[in-house]
Amino acid sequence: MKIYLDGKFVPEEEAKVSVFDHGLLYGDGIFEGIRAYNGYVFKLEEHLDRLYDSAKGIRLEIPLPREEMKEAILETLRVNQLKTSYVRPIVTRGVGDLGIDPRKCKGRPTVIVIVREWKSLYPEELYQKGLRAIVAASRARPPESLSPSIKTLNYLTNIMAKIEANVWGADEAIMLDVHGNIAEGTADNLFIVKHGVLHTPPVIANLPGITRATIIELAHDADYEVREEHFGIAQLYMADEVFLTGTAAEVVPIIEIDGRTIGASRPGHITMELRKRYKDITGIPETGTPIYSLQKVK
């Protein structure tokens, strides 16, 4: 694979950044996780919006105008002749020195676009059977600190939760906020279904997921009520259905949490209906930006 690195396409073995890059030294940077299906980059404009919002959140100026950034993403896919792919744009504060002061980064921010041929996060079997999850002891960062709504390179809180899942042999970890409300998964938003109504935590406590927003729309299309409100661990345990949403995971059912069976211990029908509706709108011009010009333009 060729990687976009500061305006050039370089073979992945040669795609290296300085040990003085503040992205490495301090996690000082931002990123996005995007997917392309069948030659269309799913919700690219929404991901670009969030990338530029995240940059603003940490007072980082992306050295490319938005249209050039978009072109860099599309060109990286073209150079690698990809149609179905994972795309990871990263912008760091750039090369500085030891010491956290961002003024030490005198050059340009580092801009990277990594692409990977990649089809799905979990084995297909897990989508059909559902995941087993734990509620992690590691709490999501409060919005009063570094807001979880900014997609920064600081993922250690989430990694700590993921380590807990690994240690307990679970497939995923669910994070609480500091008040004990459900926040989100380690790289996904969370929904529960109770008596036919969907509930998901407000975005103040988590990342405003693009899949989350898409699922809310699809749920409305299917005439389900969706409530964006806080709920706790008991509502989670007692839900009829629980599922996660994310670019990587898409829509994935959870069938067990902390040793409690969720619903009938198999993926719920609303979860699977929304999963199907989601799959149906990926890889089509209505929701994606074409990578290759011969494709029908949006």
Q: Which residues carry out catalysis?
A: 151
Helix axes 66-79, 44-57, angle to 10 degrees: 130
Look up tokens 């969706």; give the residue. Answer: 226
> Two tokens at 18?
């300085």
Q: In the complex with ligand PXG, which residue's Cβ is closer, 88 or 104? A: 88
Strand, coil or helix: 134: strand
Residues 169-188 that bind ligand PXG (CB under 6 A): 184, 187-188
User: Contact at 8 Å (CB) between 231 and 201?
Assistant: yes
Residue 298 per-residue DSSP state:
-
Strand, coil or helix: 11: strand
Look up tokens 């301090």; give the residue. Answer: 26
Q: In the complex with ligand PXG, which residue's Cβ is closer, 121 or 233? A: 121
Binding marks (x or -) toward ligand PXG, 191..230, rule CB under 6 A? ---------------xx-xxxx------------------
| In the complex, minimum distance from the CB of residue 211 to ligand PXG, in angstroms, rounded to a whole number | 3
Look up tokens 């069948």; give the residue. Answer: 38
| In the complex, minimum distance from the CB of residue 33 to ligand PXG, in angstroms, rounded to a whole number | 2
Residues 132-171 that bind ligand PXG (CB under 6 A): 158
Binding marks (x or -) toward ligand PXG, 225..264, rule CB under 6 A? --------------------xxxx----------------
Q: In the complex with ligand PXG, which residue's Cβ is closer, 172 or 184? A: 184
Position 189 contacts ligand PXG (CB under 6 A): yes
| In the complex, minimum distance from the CB of residue 43 to ligand PXG, in angstroms, rounded to a whole number | 8
User: Contact at 8 Å (CB) between 255 and 128?
Assistant: no
Burial of 169 (0-12, 13-18, 19+ CB in 10 A): exposed
Residues 23-82 that bind ligand PXG (CB under 6 A): 33
User: Contact at 8 Å (CB) between 41 and 32?
Assistant: no
Site for ligand PXG, rule CB under 6 A: 33, 158, 184, 187-189, 206-207, 209-212, 245-248
